[in-house]
Amino acid sequence: MEEEERSSTDSGGAPAWMATFSDMATLLLTFFILLLSFANMDIVKFRDAMGSIQQALGFMPTGTGMFQHTSKPTEFEKPLATSALKNTNYLIQQELQEMVKEHGLERDVEIENTPRGVVLRVRGRIFFSSGTAELKPQAYPILEKIAQIMKRFPSRVSIEGHTDNLPVSGGRYTSNWELSAARAYSALRFLMKKGVDVKRINIAGFADTHPIASNNTEEGRAKNRRVEFVFYEEK
């Protein structure tokens, strides 16, 4: 009888540890299901966040790694740099135009925004007497404005002298090459005296090799006798 009673008692339920194990397994299963649901819901946001952090730190990953930004990778440094450059060029152009209006130089000064940079084109008669490279007083306001701009903006400046195709006769210079280079150098010296860093300035003399008008007329030759200041960013 005792054996029969023990047998009936033992077959009446599972051991006590099984209940504890079952509870733990259920809790673990619930936990992993919860983790899986979070991962499926937030993976896009998570990757987006990681991509934003990487972009802010200054690099973008290539390939299809775990932390790839979900949007199409784009180069952000160049567009930002281009935008800043365009804004700088616009500001320089605006200031030069105001200077031209203030001094009534519309007939003799042109300003153009080109792929090279902002070009300030000044007819030679404003800067120099015929056959000379000595600056006239009329040139001072223009050069002073250029000095101010160079102190405020990081742009470099190329000073370029140009002449017409008529040969130089008499005087200090024996060719248009010498004359155009000397005129560019005179402008450089003025800017040096105003405290501009000469390392940011280039000069060149092109003689009559870069005409912007026909040399067959006096008006055309007058346009070709000029000094150009090109504001540009070093690449």
Give the amino acid at 132.
Answer: T
* Nearest in space to 88 (alpha carbons), one of 154, 145, 144: 154
Could you state, in order of their start, the residue ranges of all structural domains in the chain?
A: 2-56, 78-232
Query: How many whole angstroms separate alpha carbon 205 and alpha carbon 148?
Result: 24
pLDDT tens for 89-147 read: 999 999 999 999 999 999 999 999 999 999 999 999 999 999 999 999 999 999 999 99
pLDDT tens for 3-45 read: 554 554 555 566 777 777 777 888 877 877 777 666 555 555 5
Between 3.30.1330.60, 3.30.70.20, 1.10.1070.20, 3.40.50.720, what CATH number should domain 78-232 receive? 3.30.1330.60
Both structure tokens of 104: 């009534």
pLDDT tens for 148-186 read: 999 999 999 999 999 999 999 878 999 999 999 999 999
User: What pLDDT, on a 0 to 100 scale, did the predictor assign at position 50?
Assistant: 53
Q: Is the confidence at residue 47, as pLDDT, over 50?
A: yes
Both structure tokens of 65: 């790694």
pLDDT tens for 106-119 read: 999 999 999 999 99
pTM, rounded to two decimals? 0.65
- φ and ψ at residue 119, rounded to 5 degrees: -105, 125
- In the block, tokens 């033992």 appear at 10
Query: How many whole angstroms separate alpha carbon 138 and alpha carbon 125?
Result: 9
Would you say how long the chain is, in residues?
235
3-state secondary structure 197-230: CHHHEEEEECCCCCCCCCCCCHHHHHHHCEEEEE
When the pLDDT of each residue in the chain is averaged and rounded to a whole number, the result is: 81
